[in-house]
């Protein structure tokens, strides 16, 4: 199967924050392509740079953060390309929502309590010169699609909606201007199981009916396993493995992905022997030498301490940055047996 | 027979909020046996923490009885009561909030040890602190004792909370979402440690979580109670419930959980509910509280009869569901 057109192409992107002790290297040399119609999931532990990377993609970083280097190329539906870093503020404002929208981590609780859902719809419409009645019509359609009572929700204040309803409102609003890409940062974290289920089902339905790509951020491997086409594992600000979901899960080639899966309980797996990863994620102000995972890695040897592994293609679209990717793969195959 | 460590009999609990009385727990019957693992699961607000607090004696029931080793609290002398209370410790979700930021780890562990006269003299205090830190794998203890909570990682802080709970030689630890805020990669280490402590000290553990996969892993050899809107709807051996859930709510939960295995998770068929709305506590549906969402719903029955927990298996799996009972799927093993 030939992959579709590339929508986002990111190359050697590095992002840092200024902090008292020095610069926090939150994202380092990240490169990836998001293809049309695909769902790309970033997984990894807290603090590995998932949110920073995605905020950086849309230049929505907080003040302390800055893009140090790299390129972010976006391709419009008509084939025209832009460099996101070169957009003026005005151009960027038009780009957001219309081309790419983002549902932020924690957005659930940060909705402005004095604005009705309808105000949010009209504000967005005004900023993008969309007719009010057209915006309302489209919002009502989208609310029905995410299984909400459109009319009731349209006039509601955030506090009148449950967490799951708010998350679905945000999802619907993110599609208001028919963007090509939506970025969702931990949309199902901190919601209940059945609520998470309804959000996932709604997202899957929307993807079947409408045409857009998704970047999905989650520390929950199970959610990524379910909805991602492509999975990228991040560790200490870097993409350490990336590939089709089945490759990354069943034929893991990076010791970190391997270890994460080895620590993840699965409901239907019966009595499981699991292993946690020793230590904790490294300091991003003075990250370790070589492979940043080496201090916690059961596969590590001298070369891992001295030399940083490069992200190289293993097979097809499957990449890993691990000196011992063959040993990891062999061990993973013993565990999975598929 | 050894009586249960704790027994809740027909326990109700209400809270007042904005002039309304919320029935937060209704008719809870539960036993915690020595050295067992009992896991409470259910969605946010179903009453897990409240149940945990009543078990620990931090909260009194509005109605009903709590027995400690077979006797009501009132049957114990005053001096025994504080000892009983100490034998049950809660470890909370957020160690940041429960550890005093102005104290070193040594101080945090010293206070309960000294207050309850668990040690004699400085040397013994010091030895005990080192022993506790070693027990929770914070080694070498010398690197830890002089640190403040903010200088530790989330996982390390949670280990300190557990060490503090152990200072008073408890018989029961209530771990309320104790690893929910800890990174996935280090959760398992803390859970394994809890397993080890249970064996070493005959500790009973009440494990509260909203994460079913985690519940399955931790309580595989123990029991599981599923709660919905203030009631226990199913209880039994974890293995039985995970492999053969009976209550429609339990089935819905288990079928809804995604799994960290792409083929398995994509093949799962989530059970369809009649409604996604969770009723609020000030408006609990009559009869079975799950009836407006339940695919087994039988008009005239489920909205009028409050179902009682009855046996579904000879191994003590109990479920509260009228349609199942009427279909003859319950009582099968009743003695
Ligand atoms: N405003 C900020 N100033 C300084 N450092 C920051 C700031 N925001 C984030 N960081 C640091 O950048 C790193 C990456 O953080 P980021 O929020 O991107 O991680 P994440 O993978 O999204 O984590 P989580 O799973 O917790 O959401 C962390 O070390 C974090 O402490
Ligand atoms: N002190 C209180 N005053 C008023 N209402 C309370 C009080 N404590 C708990 N409640 C209410 O009781 C219900 C059950 O709360 P509880 O904390 O036991 O639920 P839970 O199952 O632990 O939920 P979560 O998974 O969110 O921790 C909730 O609706 C809560 O708002
Ligand atoms: Mg984040
Ligand atoms: Mg709770």
Best mutation site among A147, A276, A293 for testing chain B: the one with the most B CBs within 10 Å?
Answer: A276
Q: Distance (Å, rounded) from C-alpha A189 to C-alpha A117? A: 22
Whole-number CA gyration radius for chain B: 21
Ligand 2 pocket, residue B281 CB under 6 Å: yes
Range of the domain at A184: 6-228
Q: Are B8 and B66 in contact (CB under 8 A)?
A: yes
- Note the ligand closest to the C-alpha atom of B24: 2
Task: Provide the pLDDT confidence category of residue A179 given band limits of 50, 70 and 90.
Answer: very high
A84-99 CB burial, b ≥16 within 10 A, e <16: beebeeeeeebbbbbb
Q: Are A115 and A156 in contact (CB under 8 A)?
A: no
The strand order across the sheet containing A100-103 reads A100-103, A181-185, A213-217, A39-43, A230-235, A238-244, A318-320, A312-315
Q: Whose CA is nearest to atom 27 of ligand 2?
A: B44
Do A220 and A316 share a structural domain? no
pLDDT at B185 over 90: no
Do A112 and A217 share a structural domain? yes
pLDDT at B181 over 90: no
Select from B24, B8, B40, B13 the least CA-distant residue to B233.
Answer: B40
Q: What would the two tokens of residue A209 be?
A: 């009916």
SS3 of B270-323: the string is CCCCCCCCCCCHHHCCCCCCCHHHCCCCCCCCCCCCCCCCEECCCCCCEECCHH
Interchain contact, A267 vs B210, CB within 8 Å: no
Question: pLDDT above 90 covers what percent of chain B?
Answer: 79
pLDDT at B95 over 90: no
Ligand 1 atom closest to A63 (CA): 1
- Mean pLDDT over each residue of chain A, to the nearest integer: 92
Q: Distance (Å, rounded) from C-alpha B40 to C-alpha B225? A: 5
Q: Distance (Å, rounded) from C-alpha B202 to C-alpha A46? A: 34
- Tens-digit pLDDT profile for residues B109-161: 999 999 999 999 999 999 999 999 999 999 889 999 999 999 988 889 999 99
Map out the domains of chain B as residue ranges: 6-87+170-270, 97-167
Output B73 or A247, whichever has higher pLDDT: A247
Q: Distance (Å, rounded) from C-alpha A23 to C-alpha A17? A: 6
Task: Provide the pLDDT confidence category of residue A1 given band limits of 50, 70 and 90.
Answer: low
Residue A176, helix vs strand vs coil: coil
Q: Are A160 and A192 in contact (CB under 8 A)?
A: no
Question: Strands, DSSP E only, in B145-196?
Answer: 172-176
pLDDT at A107 over 80: no
Beta bridge partners of A17: A24, A65
Do A279 and A190 share a structural domain? no
Q: Which of A112-121, B126-135, B259-268 has the lowest mean pLDDT?
A: A112-121
Q: What is the Å distance from ligand 2's center to B24 Cα?
A: 7
Do A288 and A221 share a structural domain? no
Ligand 2 atom closest to B51 (CA): 18
Q: Distance (Å, rounded) from C-alpha B214 to C-alpha B41? A: 10
- Tens-digit pLDDT profile for residues B299-320: 999 999 999 999 988 888 999 9
ipTM summary value = 0.90
Do A244 and A182 share a structural domain? no
Residue A152 lies in a domain: yes
Pocket test for ligand 1, best of A15, A26, A41 (most atoms within 8 A of CB): A26
Q: What would the two tokens of residue B211 be?
A: 């994460």
Q: In this structure, what CATH number is given to the domain that contains residue A20? A: 3.40.50.300
Looking at 3.90.1150.10, 1.10.3210.10, 3.40.50.300, 3.40.50.1370, the CATH number of the domain B6-87+170-270 comes to 3.40.50.300
Do A18 and A153 share a structural domain? yes
Do A164 and A26 share a structural domain? yes
pLDDT at B193 over 50: yes
Mean pLDDT of B93-98: 79
Task: Give the model's pLDDT for residue A195.
Answer: 86
Interchain contact, A265 vs B264, CB within 8 Å: no
- Tens-digit pLDDT profile for residues A51-79: 999 999 999 999 999 999 999 999 999 99
Q: How many domains does chain A divide into?
A: 2
Do A159 and A108 share a structural domain? yes
Task: Give the model's pLDDT for residue B320.
Answer: 96
Alpha carbon of A134: minimum distance to chain B alpha carbons (Å):
29
B194 to chain A, any CB pair closer than 8 A? The answer is: no
pLDDT at A160 over 90: no
Task: Provide the pLDDT confidence category of residue A262 given band limits of 50, 70 and 90.
Answer: very high
Residue B261 to residues A186, A194, A328, B35, B265, Cα–Cα distance (Å): 19, 19, 18, 33, 6
Residues of A in contact with B183 (CB under 8 A): 45-46, 219, 280-281
Residue B190 to residues A42, B155, B198, Cα–Cα distance (Å): 25, 8, 12
Best mutation site among A252, A259, A265 for testing chain B: the one with the most B CBs within 10 Å?
Answer: A265
Place of tokens 């280090």: B186
**Which stretches of chain A are DSSP H helices?**
50-57, 89-98, 107-110, 117-127, 132-145, 150-154, 163-174, 193-209, 221-227, 245-250, 255-261, 302-306, 325-336
Do A179 and A138 share a structural domain? yes
Q: Distance (Å, rounded) from C-alpha A9 to C-alpha A338? A: 33
Q: Distance (Å, rounded) from C-alpha A104 to C-alpha A183? A: 8
Do A290 and A217 share a structural domain? no
Ligand 2 pocket, residue B46 CB under 6 Å: yes
Mean pLDDT of A174-197: 90
Task: Give the model's pLDDT for residue B327.
Answer: 86
Q: What is the Å distance from ligand 3's center to A224 Cα?
A: 15
Place of tokens 């494990």: B207
Task: Give the model's pLDDT for residue B335.
Answer: 42
Residue A96 lies in a domain: yes
Q: Are A13 and A56 in contact (CB under 8 A)?
A: yes
Q: Distance (Å, rounded) from C-alpha B162 to C-alpha B95? A: 10
Q: Residue A158: enclosing H or E segment and its boundaries?
A: none
Do A191 and A83 share a structural domain? yes
Task: Give the model's pLDDT for residue A52.
Answer: 96
Place of tokens 């819905």: B252
Do A313 and A221 share a structural domain? no
Measured from the Cβ of residue B117, the count of other Cβ atoms closer than 10 Å reads 7
């Amino acid at each position: 199967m030939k992959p579709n057109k590339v929508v986002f192409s990111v190359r050697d992107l590095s992002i840092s924050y200024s902090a008292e002790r020095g610069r926090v290297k939150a994202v380092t040399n990240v490169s990836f392509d998001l293809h049309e119609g695909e769902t790309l999931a970033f997984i990894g532990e807290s603090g590995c740079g998932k949110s920073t990377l995605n905020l950086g993609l849309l230049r929505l970083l907080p003040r302390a953060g800055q893009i140090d280097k790299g390129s972010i190329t976006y391709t419009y539906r008509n084939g025209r390309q832009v460099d996101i870093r070169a957009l003026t503020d005005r151009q960027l404002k038009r780009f957001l929502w219309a081309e790419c929208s983002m549902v932020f981590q924690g957005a659930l609780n940060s909705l402005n309590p004095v604005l009705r859902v309808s105000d949010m719809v009209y504000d967005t419409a005004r900023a993008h010169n969309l007719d009010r009645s057209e915006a309302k019509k489209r919002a009502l359609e989208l609310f029905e699609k995410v299984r909400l009572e459109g009319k009731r929700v349209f006039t509601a204040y955030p506090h009148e909606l449950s967490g799951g309803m708010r998350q679905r409102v945000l999802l619907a609003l993110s599609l208001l201007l028919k963007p090509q890409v939506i970025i969702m940062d931990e949309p199902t974290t901190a919601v209940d199981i059945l609520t998470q289920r309804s959000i996932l089902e709604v997202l899957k339905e929307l993807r079947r009916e409408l045409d857009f790509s998704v970047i999905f951020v989650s520390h929950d491997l199970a959610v990524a396993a379910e909805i991602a086409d492509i999975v990228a594992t991040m560790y200490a600000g870097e993409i350490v493995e990336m590939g089709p979901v089945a490759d990354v899960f069943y034929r893991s080639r990076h010791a970190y992905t391997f270890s994460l899966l080895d620590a993840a309980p699965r409901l239907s797996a019966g009595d499981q022997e699991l292993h946690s990863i020793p230590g904790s994620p490294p300091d991003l102000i003075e990250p370790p030498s070589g492979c940043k995972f080496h201090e916690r890695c059961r596969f590590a040897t001298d070369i891992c301490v001295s030399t940083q592994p490069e992200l190289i293609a293993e097979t097809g679209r499957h990449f890993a940055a691990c000196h011992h990717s063959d040993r990891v793969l062999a061990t993973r195959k013993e565990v999975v047996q598929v | 027979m050894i009586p249960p460590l704790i027994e809740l009999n027909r326990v109700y609990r209400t809270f007042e909020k904005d002039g309304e009385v919320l029935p937060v727990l209704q008719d809870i019957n539960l036993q915690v046996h020595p050295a067992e693992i009992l896991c409470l699961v259910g969605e946010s607000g179903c009453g897990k923490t409240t149940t945990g607090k009543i078990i620990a004696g931090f909260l009194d029931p509005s109605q009903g009885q709590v027995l400690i080793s077979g006797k009501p609290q009132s049957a114990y002398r005053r001096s025994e009561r504080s000892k009983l209370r100490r034998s049950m410790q809660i470890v909370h979700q957020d160690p940041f909030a429960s550890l005093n930021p102005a104290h070193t780890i040594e101080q945090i562990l010293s206070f309960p040890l000294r207050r309850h006269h668990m040690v004699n003299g400085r040397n013994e205090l010091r030895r005990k602190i080192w022993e506790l830190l070693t027990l929770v794998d914070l080694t070498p203890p010398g690197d830890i004792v002089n640190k403040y909570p903010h200088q530790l990682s989330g996982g390390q802080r949670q280990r300190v909370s557990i060490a503090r709970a152990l200072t008073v030689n408890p018989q029961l630890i209530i771990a309320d979402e104790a690893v929910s805020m800890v990174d996935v990669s280090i959760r398992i280490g803390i859970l394994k440690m809890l397993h080890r402590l249970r064996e070493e000290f005959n500790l009973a553990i009440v494990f509260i979580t909203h994460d079913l996969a985690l519940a399955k892993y931790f309580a595989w050899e123990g029991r599981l109670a599923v709660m919905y809107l203030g009631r226990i709807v199913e209880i039994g051996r974890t293995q039985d419930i995970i492999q053969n859930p009976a209550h429609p709510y339990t089935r819905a939960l288990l079928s809804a959980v995604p799994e960290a295995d792409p083929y398995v998770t994509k093949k799962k068929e989530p059970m369809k509910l009649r409604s996604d709305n969770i009723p609020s506590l000030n408006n609990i549906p009559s009869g079975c509280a799950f009836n407006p969402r339940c695919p087994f719903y039988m008009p005239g029955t489920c909205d009028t009869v409050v179902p009682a927990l009855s046996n579904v298996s000879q191994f003590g799996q109990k479920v509260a569901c009228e349609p199942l009972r009427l279909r003859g799927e319950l009582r099968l093993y009743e003695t």
